[in-house]
Amino acid sequence: MNQKNNCRTVGRIAEGLVVILAAGLVQAQSLDETFDWITNTLRPSEGNNRVVHRPTPPNQYPPDWIHKNLDPYHAETITKFTHTGCRVEFDIDVEDNDMGFLLGKHFMMHAVDSFNLKDIDPNSISIENACEPFETSAGPSTGWNCEDKQGKFLIAKTVNSESKIHEESTGLSWKSGYTPEDGGKLVEQLCKKLPGNGAYCDEPERKNKPSDLTSIELGFSTPEYAKRFAKAFKHAVTLCGGKPSAF
């Protein structure tokens, strides 16, 4: 009788091990499938990996802007996505052209953000509300042409706001297509008087100081894809053991 019970116990343990191993295999396949989907849909040919925001819609450009080739925009492009286990890496190009007071300049930063998905708080993964009002001295306001980037940016934060996202970057700048009234002579003079000042001179690529961040922002071409990416990204974070922050 004891021998029969022992055999049954061993059999149940063996069955349990099979179930555990099968569950682990399914989980591994699911994570691989999630990474495959992210990798495939972020290929440039799919058209999901780039977002361009213009503070002023091109159809509202004044004639003077068109005449002077003034084209203010901010763009972000995910140029590469790789993963090893649960550690992922995003290569991102960030561009600013004729933005703010820096007319006639094109700035670019190439950033490489790497982190382990288990260090991401799954509850923090969200789509930015670009049109959310904010307070100013004149009262509540929204960003210029916020509709242009509404629903296109994903935000993800680390567990307990720990600095676990490592970023290394390089930056460079050059003249945009903007042509001022003097043909750019003033800019050239300022460059000679203040060499090395990125606001006036073309700058070769330089390496920036590495930093460790508590959040990452990723931009996509459409709100529809941003939602799908957020779902897949959160799924991968959960499979990798990401836990909500303590508070």
**Domain coverage including residue 224:** 42-239
Q: How many domains does the chain have?
A: 1
| N-terminal to C-terminal alpha carbon distance within the chain | 54
The CA distance from 113 to 39, in Å, is 16
Length of the chain: 247
Chain segment 149-208, per-residue pLDDT in tens: 999 999 999 999 999 999 999 999 999 999 888 877 877 787 887 766 566 789 999 999
Contact 105, 98 (CB under 8 A): yes
Q: SS3 letters for 80-136?
A: EEEEECCEEEEEEEEEEECCCCCCCEEEEEEEEEEEEHHHECHHHCEECCCCCCEEE
CA dihedral 65, 75, 174, 109 (to 10 degrees): 160
Largest CA distance in the chain: 102
Q: What pLDDT, on the 0 to 100 scale, is given for residue 83?
A: 98
Mean pLDDT of 51-70: 96
Chain segment 36-50, per-residue pLDDT in tens: 999 999 999 999 999
Least reliable range by pLDDT among 12-16, 50-54, 98-102, 119-123:
12-16
Whether 246 is covered by a domain: the verdict is no
The tokens of 215 are what?
């959040």
Whether 20 is covered by a domain: the verdict is no
Share of the chain above pLDDT 70, in %: 86
Share of the chain above pLDDT 90, in %: 72
Q: What pLDDT, on the 0 to 100 scale, is given for residue 226?
A: 98
Which DSSP symbol is given to 238?
Answer: H
Which DSSP symbol is given to 158?
Answer: B
Contact 95, 108 (CB under 8 A): yes
Least reliable range by pLDDT among 28-37, 118-127, 179-188:
179-188
Which of 105, 107, 78, 81 is CA-nearest to residue 93? 78
Q: What pLDDT, on the 0 to 100 scale, is given for residue 196?
A: 63
Q: What pLDDT, on the 0 to 100 scale, is given for residue 32?
A: 96
The CA distance from 77 to 17, in Å, is 45
Residue 1, pLDDT above cutoff 70: no
The tokens of 105 are what?
């300049």
Whether 17 is covered by a domain: the verdict is no
Mean pLDDT of 106-127: 98
Q: What pLDDT, on the 0 to 100 scale, is given for residue 100?
A: 86
Whether 23 is covered by a domain: the verdict is no
Whether 192 is covered by a domain: the verdict is yes
Whether 58 is covered by a domain: the verdict is yes
